Amino acid sequence: MDMRHEPGLEFDFDTGEEGRTEGLAGRETELQKIIRQGFRAPVELSRKMRLVIDGVSYAVFNLSGNGIGIYLNEPGGFALKTKLSGMRFAIDGQTFSVEGVVVHRASDGAQDLCGIEITAMSPECQEAILAYLKKSRSSLFS
């Protein structure tokens, strides 16, 4: 049986707004705000990957091609959209200067977490991050 020419299933979307599509478009916009824009690799604490901000060292818990997730040392911490310059990022025995902006704050129930989008890094730093992500992806999905 050739299904390509048969009628398919139809779905109705309940937007809560009779006959209006703005509700659906608004929901899609909200969803786009929370969708991750790439692979984030978990980082084991034993790896000693660190991010130093204003002389204070933070443990890294995840890493992506353009972002770093850190555990905050105390409640509170950085406000959203705070620009951070002069940070030092240590990965695999190398240390790099990076800049970023705070894009996410949360709690895992035990600790406060902070997501930082990297806005400036050297090509060598990006190469080290991508090498880590490639190795991590291979081990996670093999």
Tell me the three state secondary structure of residue 131: helix
Higher per-residue confidence, 29 vs 92: 92
- pTM as predicted: 0.70
Cα–Cα distance measured from residue 43 to residue 69, given in angstroms and rounded to the nearest whole number: 9
Q: Which residues of 41-68 are buried (b: 16+ CB within 10 A; e: fewer)?
A: bebeeeeebebebeeeebbbbbbbeebb
pLDDT in tens, 21-67: 455 566 565 545 444 456 678 888 777 899 999 999 999 999 999 99
- In one-letter notation, the amino acid at residue 120 is A
- Name all contacts of 26-35 with Cβ < 8 Å and 24+ positions apart: none
